[in-house]
């Protein structure tokens, strides 16, 4: 066999095996991947659907995540907004209102949704997991589609559906359901793992003159 065909076969081999993976194998790969992640950066496109209003609102931006409950969501559209947490406090800054909402991160981000890295690193501990469609395990893009039900449902998280790329076992699409069947769909692109994100990225200093308003506890 020519060398080029040997190389091509080796490249295709992981995808062939991945297509036949069992649920336990997929869960194990995802848990192992996220357990070894220190940080993650990605662009995101989001659509939030409010069932009672029958209204969808698109948004986009960049997300930064780091172990220890650290996160930074920078929304660029439809209006700028920042959601930042250092694991202890959480700040939501809305430039249009010149207002910062401040709360305690452990209270506001309780449950598996609060720490994306930790939650997916321990899928079996936080969720009941199945394939969304056992007869067709992957999406049209070739991602595994998992239906996650929290062992302890929260008002803001009653169900989570994720699509995992078998090339690196990272989430590319996610859909969050709350107890009222409102949904948030997210698509992640330009995903970079373990880039060495600095802790200062997750610290927030309120702009001069911004009003500070406490967040209500959950």
Please write the tens of the pLDDT for every residue from 36-77. Answer: 999 999 999 999 999 999 999 999 999 999 998 899 999 999
> Would residue 7 count as lying in a domain?
no
Q: Quickly state the pLDDT bin for 7 (edges 50, 70, 90).
A: very low
For 111-141, the pLDDT digits (tens) are 555 567 777 888 999 899 999 999 999 999 9
207: domain range?
A: 24-214
For the chain, the average pLDDT equals 87
> How far is residue 78's CA from residue 24's CA, in Å, rounded to a whole number?
40
What pLDDT score was predicted for residue 6?
A: 34
> Would residue 77 count as lying in a domain?
yes
Residues whose CB falls within 8 Å of the CB of residue 81, separated by 6 or more in sequence, listed in order: 73, 75, 92, 93, 94, 95
> Would residue 4 count as lying in a domain?
no
For 170-180, the pLDDT digits (tens) are 999 999 999 99
> Would residue 5 count as lying in a domain?
no
> Would residue 85 count as lying in a domain?
yes
Q: Quickly state the pLDDT bin for 199 (edges 50, 70, 90).
A: very high
If one counts the domains in the chain, the total is 1
Residue pointed to by tokens 């994306």: 116
pLDDT at residue 22 above 60?
yes
pLDDT at residue 23 above 70?
yes
C-alpha dist (Å) from residue 115 to 85, 86, 110, 155 = 11, 11, 8, 16
For 96-114, the pLDDT digits (tens) are 999 999 999 877 776 555 5
> Would residue 12 count as lying in a domain?
no
> Would residue 2 count as lying in a domain?
no
Would you call 24 exposed, middle or buried from its count of C-beta atoms within 10 A (0-12, 13-18, 19+)?
exposed
User: Which of 132, 143, 139 has the alpha carbon at shortest distance from 18?
Assistant: 143
Q: Quickly state the pLDDT bin for 14 (edges 50, 70, 90).
A: very low
Residue pointed to by tokens 């209003």: 53
Q: Quickly state the pLDDT bin for 9 (edges 50, 70, 90).
A: very low
User: Which of 190, 122, 117 has the alpha carbon at shortest distance from 150?
Assistant: 122
> Would residue 163 count as lying in a domain?
yes
CATH number of domain containing 141: 2.50.20.10
């Amino acid at each position: 066999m020519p060398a080029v065909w040997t190389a091509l076969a080796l490249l295709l081999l992981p995808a062939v095996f991945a297509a036949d993976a069992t649920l336990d194998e997929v869960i194990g790969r995802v848990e192992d991947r996220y357990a070894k992640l220190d940080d993650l950066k990605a662009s995101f496109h989001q659509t939030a659907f409010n069932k009672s209003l029958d209204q969808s609102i698109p948004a986009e931006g960049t997300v930064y995540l780091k172990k220890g409950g650290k996160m930074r969501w920078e929304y660029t559209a439809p209006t700028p907004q920042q959601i930042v947490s250092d694991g202890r406090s959480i700040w939501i800054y809305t430039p249009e209102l010149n207002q910062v909402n401040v709360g305690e991160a452990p209270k506001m981000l309780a449950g598996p949704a609060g720490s994306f890295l930790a939650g997916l690193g321990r899928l079996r501990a936080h969720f009941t997991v199945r394939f969304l469609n056992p007869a067709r395990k992957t999406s049209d893009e070739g991602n595994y589609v998992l239906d996650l039900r929290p062992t302890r449902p929260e008002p803001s998280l009653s169900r989570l559906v994720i699509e995992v790329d078998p090339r690196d076992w990272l989430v590319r699409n996610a859909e969050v359901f709350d107890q009222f069947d409102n949904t948030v769909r997210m698509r992640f692109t330009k995903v970079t793992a373990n880039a060495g994100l600095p802790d200062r990225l997750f610290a927030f200093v309120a702009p001069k003159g911004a009003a500070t308003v406490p967040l209500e506890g959950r």
